[in-house]
């Protein structure tokens, strides 16, 4: 399945279990668990440092999942923009925790502090059909 990826692949949450069981465990990174292990105060979250220590040296294909913690407003961290830069040297699969609507990835609802949208560009999308 690894050969199917181009840059960043987005996997709909409906396929989370099936996808995670289809890849080796060392390629699947639970971001919420990593951030919680580091125990950073919200004002001091340094995801680049976490990425360098725990992910960057791993294999050339990585699946990131369970990253809802990064949507907390106090962290103000845009994981997808960060991963776009890293995808020049690695292939990523992202299991999206929100909705995939037309040309956007959406997390939460408008008006909520954790609301997030991201345009889909250069992603391979696996989602349930409407």
Domain boundaries, the chain: 2-126
Q: What is the mean pLDDT of residues 87-93?
A: 86
d(CA 101, CA 103): 6
What pLDDT score does 5 carry? 39
Q: Tell me what the pLDDT averaged over the chain comes to.
A: 84
What percent of the chain shows pLDDT beyond 90? 39
Judged by DSSP in three states, 74 sits in coil
- Identify the band that residue 1 occupies on the pLDDT scale cut at 50, 70 and 90: very low
**What pLDDT score does 32 carry?**
92
* Whether the Cβ atoms of residue 34 and residue 48 lie closer than 8 Å to each other: no
């Amino acid at each position: 399945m690894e050969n199917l990826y181009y840059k960043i692949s987005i996997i709909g949450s409906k396929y989370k279990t099936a996808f995670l069981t289809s890849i080796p465990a060392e390629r699947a990174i639970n971001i919420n668990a990593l951030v919680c292990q580091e125990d950073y105060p919200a004002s001091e979250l340094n995801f680049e440092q976490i990425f360098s220590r725990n992910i960057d040296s791993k294999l050339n294909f990585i699946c990131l999942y369970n990253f809802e913690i990064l949507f907390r407003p106090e962290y103000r961290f845009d994981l997808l923009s960060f991963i776009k830069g890293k995808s020049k040297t690695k292939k990523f699969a992202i299991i999206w925790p929100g909705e995939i609507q037309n040309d956007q990835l959406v997390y939460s609802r408008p008006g909520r502090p954790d609301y997030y949208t991201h345009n889909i560009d250069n992603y391979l999308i696996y989602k349930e059909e409407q």
